[in-house]
Structure 1
Amino acid sequence: MTIADDSLRVPGAARLPSLLGADEPSAFTVAHADGRSPFVLICDHAGQRLPRALGDLGVSATELQRHIAWDIGAAGLARELARRLDAFVITQPWSRLVIDCNRPPSAPGSIVTRSEHTDIPGNRNLSAHDAQARVREIFEPYHARVAAELDRRALAKRPTILVSVHSFTPVYAGVARPWHLGVLYHRDARVAQALLALMREDGRWVVGDNEPYTVSDATDYAIPVHGERRGLPHVELEVRQDLISYSAGQAEWAERLAGWLVRLPDFGDPG
């Protein structure tokens, strides 16, 4: 069962003018809420929707289909992976051009005015009020729901492994990327190193070790906050978009990733 959950609202939100209309999707969708596996899957860049109040942000429909607006294929991959693992999964449907839910709100990349070679006119000269509305109605409820699930599992003393699912474009700024997938981490490499070993043992794939991106406190939110601060085993997975831009590719890669994930070692008592 998949639900769009409006039960978590940031205090004070109802007293301020709303960015999202009452008939628009909430900041997140949860599926497999009662999943029995230790995995919790999150997908920060699952969608490309723009709130009606923002129009098209001055960006063409063609550009809004590109990777600048969302992680192409990541939502389908996350849902397929959750089904195979029997895992809780939460996806965030609003475009990262509205607000990037894997950036601290104070980071320059939180609300961009240019992405790769595309200007985002609707993000220029935002007032503090307008920027905060995006934080309040999209960023905070999404991360509050992730935190609530992790709190629930901690209270129940359930083993938990956090997996953040993303995708990356095959070519960025004119430079081709050779990796089929990437395994990302920061201070805690427990899950990443175990996965890298399994993936390389397979022998068929070019796997990036903290490629094509790296994780840092300055530029990332989910892994530092939900993974590292809690001491949870965690990893960020990146799969190249041409491999998962269609349903059969998502199913194929979900099956492959699930096969690796279920072979991970026991990372110990959640405390």
Structure 2
Amino acid sequence: MGSKNSYPSQIDAVEIFNAAGQNAAVLVCEHASNYIPAELNNLGLEEDLLESHIAWDPGALAVARVLVEDLDVPLVASRVSRLVYDCNRPPEAKDAAPSKSEVFNIPGNRDLTEEDRSWREENVYNPFKNALSQVIENKMTSGQKPVIFTIHSFTPVYKGNKREVEIGIIHDRDHSVADLIMAEESEFVVRRNEPYAPTDGVAHTLRLHGDENGLANVMIEIRNDLIKDSAGVAKVAAYLGDVFKKVLEKQKTEQGL
């Protein structure tokens, strides 16, 4: 069966910031962009939905870029909307190219063929995965064991329910970094495995690039009303920068560096 969509001949799917960053961490932003190739006709969605959380994580890239400068570490970010392919999902996941997000149907993702899914995997997911693997390998080859920090944002209201949590510290099997962050005092409402947990299918990057490399890892979820402007971005990034530095200092001590 052929594709139900037309696709560009090539796509710039991933961007690496500060590849030569010196410190022992790698930042990841899987949902950094709401870009959808013109050939996909916005997946049948109106412009307002493409600006909303269903298409990307508003503010996440802005926070991550501040942290890049503060920590002097590399950042790997997707340049394609999560609706085309969610780079925090494996190819076999049904929501890797969701036909519904929250309460919204995604017409352009309905009844995708194997050819459609293959194009998205090969042109969006694989370049992102490979770039992140290479950045991590470069760190490990240089003798570092980088901590993997993934940066996300979430909507204040989900399916009609208001979320009280402001910053979520999400972990799967490795909880070492989460434990350190949770032990720090904060002016924010910080909670463990909220508003998402590994059972929601959000731990793919942590498992593949963290656990499988024997690296400490954690996902950070930021309520996006806190980072809707530059002042909010700066405030949240300052908090995260402080706690991330403590995590990295502890890791140095444990490794005898």
Common topology (TM > 0.5): yes
What is the CA–CA distance in structure 2 between the aligned matches of 1:168 and 1:247, rounded to whole Å?
17
Paired position in structure 2 for 1:153:
139
1:52 maps to which of 4, 21, 38: 38
Distance 1:211 1:66 in 2: 20
After superposition, where does 1:1-150 map in structure 2 within 5 Å?
19-22=7-10, 26-150=12-136
Q: Given that residues 172 and 203 in structure 2 are in contact (C-alpha distance below 8 angstroms), is that contact kept between their aligned partners in structure 1?
A: no
Q: Confirm or deny: 8 A CA contact 2:181 2:243 kept in the other structure.
A: yes
Q: How far apart, in 1, do the equivalents of 2:50 and 2:135 lie?
A: 31
Aligned residue number for residue 163 of structure 2? 177
- CA RMSD across the alignment: 1.8
| 1:266 alignment counterpart | 251
Partner of 1:225: 208
Residues 104, 220 of structure 1: 8 Å contact kept: no
- Percent identical: 35
In structure 2, the residue corresponding to 1:261 is in which secondary structure?
helix
Tell whether the 8 Å contact from 1:163 to 1:235 is kept in structure 2 after alignment.
yes
- The residue number in structure 1 matching 2:3 is none
Match of 1:244? 227
Q: Mind listing any 5+ residue stretches in structure 1 that lack a counterpart?
A: 1-17
TM-score by length of 1: 0.87
Query: What is the rounded CA distance, in whole Å, between the counterparts of 2:16 and 2:201 in structure 1?
Result: 27
**How far 1:53 moved relative to its partner?**
1.6
> What amino acid is aligned across from residue 215 of structure 2 in structure 1?
L
Distance in 1 separating the partners of 2:174 and 2:148? 12
Range with bigger deviation, 211-220 or 75-84: 211-220
1:125 Cα shift? 1.4
Q: In structure 1, the residue corresponding to 2:231 is in which secondary structure?
A: helix
Q: Which segment is superposed worse, 219-228 or 76-85? A: 219-228
Q: Does 1:215 align with 2:198?
A: yes
TM-superposed CA distance for 1:247, in Å, is 2.0
> Aligned AA for 2:238?
E
Equivalent position SS for 1:109: helix
CA shift at 1:255, angstroms? Answer: 1.4
- Name the SS of the counterpart of 1:239 in structure 2: strand
Secondary structure of residue in 2 paired with 1:166: strand
Say which SS state the counterpart of residue 56 (structure 1) adopts: helix
Does residue 255 (structure 1) correspond to residue 232 (structure 2)? The answer is no
Q: CA deviation at 1:207?
A: 0.9
Structure 1 residues 229, 90: closer, same or farther in 2, change over 3 A? same
> Which structure dedicates a bigger proportion of its chain to helix?
2
Partner-residue secondary structure (3-state), 1:255: helix
Q: Shift of residue 216 of structure 1?
A: 4.8
Structure 1 counterpart of 2:109, one-letter code: N
Give 1:114's aligned amino acid.
K
Matched letter for residue 180 of structure 1:
E
1:103 and 1:109 in contact (8 A); partners too: yes
SS of corresponding position for 2:188: coil
Helix, strand or coil at the partner of 1:90: strand
Q: Would the aligned equivalents of 1:20 and 1:137 in 2 still touch at CA under 8 Å? A: no
The structural deviation recorded for 1:164 is: 0.3
Give the conservation status (yes or no) of the 8 Å contact 1:223–1:235: yes
- 1:168 offset after TM fit, Å? 0.6
- Secondary structure (helix, strand or coil) at the match of 2:39 reads helix
SS of residue paired to 2:150: strand
Per-residue CA deviation, residues 223-264 of structure 1 (Å, 9 max, x unaligned), is: 010011111011100111001122221122111110111112
Give the whole-Å Cα distance in 1 for the aligned partners of 2:173 and 2:180.
Answer: 15
For residues 116-142 of structure 1, the C-alpha deviation after alignment (integer angstroms, 9 at most, x for no partner) is 111111111111011110000000100
Retained in 1: the 8 A contact 2:44–2:107? yes
CA contact (8 A) 2:171 2:203 kept: no
Query: Structure 2: which 5+ runs fail to align?
Result: 1-5
Q: Does the CA-based 8 Å contact 1:85-1:258 persist in structure 2?
A: yes
TM-fit CA distance, 1:20: 3.5
Q: How many residues align?
A: 249
